[in-house]
Structure 1
Amino acid sequence: MEEVQTSSSGTVSHETHSAPTLCEFNTSFNSLQSNAATKSTPAAGPPNYYPASCSFIASLNTTTSQIISCLAVQNDDNYYNLLYAASTEEVNVFDITTLSLLDTFGSGYSGSVKSIAFSKGRIFTAHQDCRIRVWQKVMTSSSSSSYSRSKQIMKHHLIQTLPTFKDRFFNRLSPKNYVRIRRNEHKLRIEHADAVSALTVNNDVGLMYSVSWDKSFKIWNVSSPDMPCLDSVNEAHADAVNAVAVDPTGGTVYTGSANGEIKVWKVSKETKKHMLLTTLSKHASSVNALALTMEGSILCSGGGDRVILVWEREETNNKNNNNNDNNNNKNDLFVGCCLKGHNGAILSLVCVDNGVVISGSSDKSVRIWKYEKGFVGGCLAVLEGHCKPVKSLVLIPGGDDGFSVFSGSLDGEIRAWKIVVLDCNSRW
């Protein structure tokens, strides 16, 4: 489903960066392997822009060296300190500063982890077995002898499974809370009936959104101790839902499906239910990844058709809007540019400020792109070294010194990169 490939894409002149890989040397990177920084030189791309300066920092492997299904970064008080890497059987936690392995948890539960999200110190994992599990991080002290200094050890404990027993119990009391999932099978509407493919959290309002291959998406109140399911859109799409993104400034929710559609949702003030605002149908194949800019004004989507679409909002006259939240003009999105260059399906996306987007693909590469309004955009750099598709990306902001990116692949390797994008006006 995720790797449907249709039309071939155009190419943009770019610079390629590669580093030693597990494929080339057939060695085990037990801890870290670093590579000297590679300086970029100007290449064809967006006008007035130089390619990105990229450095391969290190290679990480999980304890089992299985496929990396997703990556996520936990930040406390805007400090990014922990990298969570999910594989087939477990979740590994790394210190971002030292790149050391701190904990491994989740083994023994059926269903691989598809997505990870965070809220108020809790960790939420979405699983192939239709469940969402909630974990709590606990620090304990340990020492080898009475004379040695105690050492802090991190452990993760399972504290809940969504929907909770309480939520399921009260919903079972009414027949209207059941939905038919197959001809002779019914399930509670608050339960997912297939793999939970993605999670995202809007911490400003304490809500978490989950999407599933059962074609639905659900909204959870994670600010409440009971974490109940507040709403469920059970026929959100005609096919499996692969991706979800939420605009924290306006509460608009975007869902991407295997049928190539992106749907835009917003909660109704009258019914308190999520209502469909519009459907975006420009991808020729499955939508596998969605990403929003920090302010939520730009949406990027990546699909099995090998392209990245950059969606912008129509600029409307404030006089015509009349401050009406339901005005459809506010929700009109158009494709500002189409980024082509990957030779395989787009599997992961990350938006960076100032018109930069990073993509991971089934062609085993990571690409750095630059786009602007009124310009088609272009590829600034290609990062190579993975042996299999790049399934997940996470971004670590770095201020004036650029930013760091971690890429996770189905080859079981996590790669760390340092990236700086410069332009002729020195805005980076």
Structure 2
Amino acid sequence: MSPTMKDQSKLFKTFPCSRPADSRSPSEEDPSPRTSTDTGSPYVMSPWNPAASSSPFVKSPWLQSSAAVAPLAEHPSSARLIGSLVRQNGHLYSLATDGDLLYTGSDSKNIRVWKDQAEFSGFKSGSGLVKAIVLSGGKIFTGHQDGKIRVWRASHRDSTQYKRVGTLPRLRDFLKSSINPSSYVEVRRHRNAVWLRHFDAVSCLSLDAEAGLLYSGSWDKTVKVWRVADSRCLESFTAHDDAINSVAGASAGWCSRGRPTGL
């Protein structure tokens, strides 16, 4: 194997799979012909088929009326843009949804809230462009260029007003760790930092709602695990030798993370 092929093989993993039902030899084939109306067709059952009743597209609150779905239902192979939201205020870096609300983050340090394809509300962070957004239990977690994770909540009196209710890590936890020499790790040559906080941009967030855990990935090459209930950092580990751009947590305790050149 050439060096190039060796390098490429590191970016992919293969897993064994069962023999597909249709991968039979000619002698094993079912004599009855198959038709396009077969209810077992992968396409018919696929969530990407707009005609399927379970399709998230059909239930989307962003559709102004059920009539907008009709052309797609009649022609399942077609697709078209149904709307576009424009706000001339920085480049868009992050998206998250909660019911009929859409949250967007940009390099203007603003978090915009959209409803019914129109701007509904918004709030601004003091520093750091917004690179990631996740929502849990009425809280909004935002990851920023300055290495911080900020926590927000809508006002009980006015749902269009938002206020910051915390930061990860909590200030008291960070100060407590900063006076302990064993809390420092080498992050770059001749530079140490407290392990509790990302020292570079928080580029991605993922929430495991069942376990109550928040995963944060950063350009500092680390992934940190936070307990949502008390905002405590439970673990931090170096996941790659390069910047991390995506992270996904699973309820089984698995964490997958991505970098520019692969997993």
Specify which structure has the higher proportion of strand. Answer: 1
Measured on the aligned residues, the alpha-carbon RMSD in Å equals 2.8
Q: Tell me by how many angstroms 1:258 deviates.
A: 2.4
SS at match of 2:85: strand
Structure 1: distance between partners of 2:159 and 2:247: 34
- Picking from 176, 181, 205, the partner of 2:182 is 176
Rate the CA distance shift 1:189–1:92 in 2: closer, same or farther, 3 A. Answer: same
Question: Matched residues in 1 for 2:208 and 2:72: separation?
Answer: 37
Residue 30 of structure 2 corresponds to none
Q: Rate the CA distance shift 1:243–1:153 in 2: closer, same or farther, 3 A.
A: closer
Q: What is the deviation of 1:198?
A: 0.2
Q: Which structure features the higher share of helix residues?
A: 2
Paired residue for 1:92? Answer: 112
Task: Please report how far the alpha carbon of residue 204 of structure 1 lies from its aligned counterpart in structure 2 after TM superposition.
Answer: 0.8
Identity among equivalent positions (%) equals 37
Residue deviations 1:233-286 (CA, integer Å, cap 9, x gap): 0x22111111101122x12110111242x2xxxxxxxxxxxxxxxxxxxxxxxx
- The residue that corresponds to 2:134 in the other structure is 117
Map of 2:255 onto structure 1 = 253
Residues 92 and 105 of structure 1 are in contact (CA less than 8 Å); yes or no, is this contact kept in structure 2?
A: yes
Conserved? CA contact 1:238–1:259, under 8 Å = no
Deviation at 1:81, TM superposition (A): 2.0
Matched residue pairs, number? Answer: 200
Alignment pair present for 1:68 and 2:92: yes
How many Å separate the matches in 2 of 1:37 and 1:210? 37
**Partner of residue 129, structure 1:** 146
Task: Report SS of the residue matched to 1:245.
Answer: strand
Separation (CA, whole Å) in 2 of partners of 1:201 and 1:111: 21
Name the counterpart of 1:101: 119
Give the TM-score, by structure 2 length: 0.69
Post-superposition CA distance 1:283-325 (Å, at most 9, x none): xxxxxxxxxxxxxxxxxxxxxxxxxxxxxxxxxxxxxxxxxxx
SS in 1 for 2:192: strand
Task: Name the amino acid aligned to 2:233.
Answer: C
* Structure 2, gaps ≥5 residues long: 1-63
Q: CA deviation at 1:169?
A: 2.1
Contact between 1:178 and 1:189, CA under 8 Å: does it hold in 2?
yes
Distance 1:153 1:206 in 2: 24
Report runs of 4+ in structure 1 exceeding 3 Å deviation: 36-42, 50-53
Q: Which amino acid aligns with 2:191?
A: E
Q: Which runs of structure 2 are paired with 1:290-305 in the superposition (5 Å)?
A: none
The letter for the 1-side match of 2:144 is H
Are the aligned partners of 2:122 and 2:160 in contact in 1 as well (CA < 8 Å)? no
d(CA) in 2 for partners of 1:61, 1:222: 33
Q: What is the DSSP-based 3-state SS (H/G/I as helix, E as strand, rest coil) of the residue aligned with 2:253?
A: coil
Alignment check: 8 A CA contact 1:243 1:256 kept: yes
Paired residue for 1:146? none
Note if contact 2:221-2:241 (Cα within 8 Å) is conserved in structure 1: yes
Aligned to 1:277: none
Which protein has the larger Cα radius of gyration, Structure 1 or Structure 2?
A: 2
> What displacement does 1:38 show?
8.7
Post-superposition CA distance 1:178-210 (Å, at most 9, x none): 111222221100110111110011111111000
